[in-house]
């Protein structure tokens, strides 16, 4: 088990005791996120958010946070979607916070607890399992809320479907649905919607601290760590989303998959596939405005995986429930990001209400 631990200056001595205790008990992967001394004051939110991030991003299995009372650490860590920080004064609360609440961060007060009690609480908390059952239902209500307020913050082992209900996205989707919208406007709006969606999808891209010299001073700043992205439009209609995304992430590599849907069988037919050589090292966004039966999207994902793609997400504008089920059924690890989830498919496999044939509307070929 990987444990991220942090404290402010007031709890630094307790942190040293707990780290030594964990090492003695055989926990080898302990990530000490600071602070490094008790002689300089530090701000508890800085440490709480570092540890919280490690847990929320699954870089650590559990987190432990210590400050004078433990309260500030718990307040700050619980701001982070995916963090369930339990502030515990006794063994019973620590045990219940695991059994019923599946807490993944423990906060303790160094000025409230003796080191012996803190060690006891920590041991119980680390060794107690979540009971699941009715408690899973309750926790999923919290997770649903987190997903609503921050769709891309929530990591999960299973593929999720995220519908972007941002007003700007919804407004633009209404215009592209309108049969009277011109090809020019349709094309522009598809780019804009794709850009807005990817702006949100990339919210958790890792940053590194850099130094920048402004005309006035040298200052700390942040730059993208350089996580490798690839976008893969499904031809034709997926091409309409590419430029809107490249404007935001100009260094993303672009692959192409050619698929069309046989009008009789509705089955996808492959006619082209060219992907970046290092696709296995990239986070991959497959682009297609329409997810109807899901046949094309599922085939595109299979093609990318067959060529080594590991972390794949699907970005579409309008999805049908049938397509969502198909993609999650065939590829349970893939997240689906959509701007709208429509009602159903008609007898010809078109999304209702949808927007008609996306390729034709983008390229004026009707």
* Residues annotated as catalytic (active site), given as ranges: 8, 67, 69, 100, 135
CB within 8 A of 166, min separation 6: which ones? 196, 200
Q: Which is nearer to ligand PRP, 201 or 358 (CB)?
A: 358
Which of ligand URA, ligand PRP, none interacts with 159 (beta carbon under 5 to 8 A by kind)? none
Strands of the 85-87 sheet, one edge to the other: 30-32, 3-7, 62-67, 105-109, 85-87
Using CB under 6 A as the binding rule, the residues of this chain from 276 to 305 that contact ligand URA are: 290, 292
* Contact letters for ligand URA, residues 234-263 (x by CB under 6 A): ---x--------------------------
290 is in an annotated binding site: yes
Give the 3-state secondary structure of residue 324: helix
- As a whole number of Å, the CA-based R_g of the chain is 24
Residues 263-322 that bind ligand PRP (CB under 6 A): 266, 268, 288-297
Tell me: is residue 68 an annotated ligand-binding position.
Answer: no
CA 99 from chain centre, in angstroms, equals 26
Rounded to an integer, what distance in angstroms lies between the CA atom of residue 29 and that of residue 126?
Answer: 14
What DSSP letter does each residue of 256-273 carry, written as one string? EEEEEE-TTT--EEEEEE
Q: CB of residue 245 vs ligand URA: minimum separation in angstroms?
A: 19
Binding mask 330-349 for ligand URA (x = CB under 6 A): -------------------x
268 binds, among ligand URA, ligand PRP, none (CB under 5 to 8 A by kind): ligand PRP
At closest approach, how far in Å is the CB of 358 from ligand URA?
4
Q: Does 307 carry a binding-site annotation?
A: no
Which phi and psi (to 5°) does residue 101 adopt? Answer: -110, -5
288 is in an annotated binding site: yes
Burial class of residue 110, CB neighbours in 10 A (0-12, 13-18, 19+): buried
Least Å from the CB of residue 349 to ligand URA: 6
Are 268 and 261 in contact, with CB atoms under 8 Å apart? yes
Question: How far, in Å, are 7, 40, 167, 294 from residue 88 at the CA level?
Answer: 15, 26, 40, 47
Residues 223-262, one symbol each (x = binds ligand PRP by CB under 6 A, - = not), give: -----------xxxx----------------------xx-
Instruction: With CA atoms as reference, report the closest residue to 154 among 102, 33, 145.
Output: 145
Report the length, in residues, of the chain.
Answer: 366
Q: Which residue has the tokens 């700007």?
A: 168
The answer to whether 291 is annotated as binding is: yes
Q: Quote the least distance from Cβ 102 to ligand PRP, whole Å.
A: 36
Q: Which residues are annotated as a binding site for 5-phospho-alpha-D-ribose 1-diphosphate?
A: 236, 261, 288-296, 357
Binding site for ligand PRP (CB under 6 A): 234-237, 260-261, 266, 268, 288-297, 323, 349, 357-359
Binding site for ligand URA (CB under 6 A): 237, 290, 292, 349-351, 354, 357-359
Q: Which residues are annotated as a binding site?
A: 236, 261, 288-296, 351, 356-358
């Amino acid at each position: 088990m990987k444990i991220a631990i942090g404290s402010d200056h007031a709890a630094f001595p307790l942190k040293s005791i707990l780290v030594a205790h964990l090492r003695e008990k055989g926990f080898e992967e302990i990530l000490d996120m600071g602070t490094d001394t008790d002689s300089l004051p530090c701000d508890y939110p800085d440490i709480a958010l570092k540890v919280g991030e490690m847990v929320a991003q699954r870089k650590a299995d559990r987190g432990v946070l210590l400050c004078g009372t433990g309260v500030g650490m718990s307040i700050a860590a619980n701001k982070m979607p995916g963090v369930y920080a339990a502030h515990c004064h006794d063994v019973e609360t620590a045990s219940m916070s695991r059994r019923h609440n599946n807490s993944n961060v423990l906060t303790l007060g160094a000025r409230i607890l003796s080191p012996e009690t803190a060690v006891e609480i920590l041991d119980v908390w680390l060794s107690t399992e979540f009971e699941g059952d009715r408690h899973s239902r309750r926790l999923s209500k919290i997770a649903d809320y987190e997903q609503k307020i921050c769709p891309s913050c929530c990591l999960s082992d299973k593929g999720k479907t995220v519908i972007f209900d941002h007003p700007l996205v919804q407004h633009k989707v209404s215009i592209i649905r309108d049969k009277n919208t011109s090809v020019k406007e349709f094309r522009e709006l598809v780019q804009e919607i794709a850009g807005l969606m990817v702006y949100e999808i990339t919210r958790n891209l890792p940053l590194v601290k850099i130094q920048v010299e402004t005309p006035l001073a040298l200052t700390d700043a942040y730059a993208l760590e350089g996580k490798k992205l690839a976008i893969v439009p499904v031809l034709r209609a997926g091409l309409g989303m590419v430029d809107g995304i490249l404007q935001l992430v100009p260094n993303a590599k672009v692959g192409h998959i050619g698929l069309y849907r046989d009008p009789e069988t509705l089955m996808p037919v492959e006619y082209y596939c060219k992907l970046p050589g290092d696709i296995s090292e990239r986070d991959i966004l497959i682009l297609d405005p329409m997810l109807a039966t899901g046949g094309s999207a599922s085939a595109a994902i299979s093609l990318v995986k067959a060529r080594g793609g590991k972390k794949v997400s699907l970005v579409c504008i309008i999805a049908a429930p049938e397509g969502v089920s198909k993609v999650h059924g065939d590829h349970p690890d893939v997240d689906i990001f959509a701007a709208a989830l429509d009602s159903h498919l008609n007898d010809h496999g078109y999304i209702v209400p949808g927007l008609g044939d996306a390729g034709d509307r983008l390229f004026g070929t009707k």
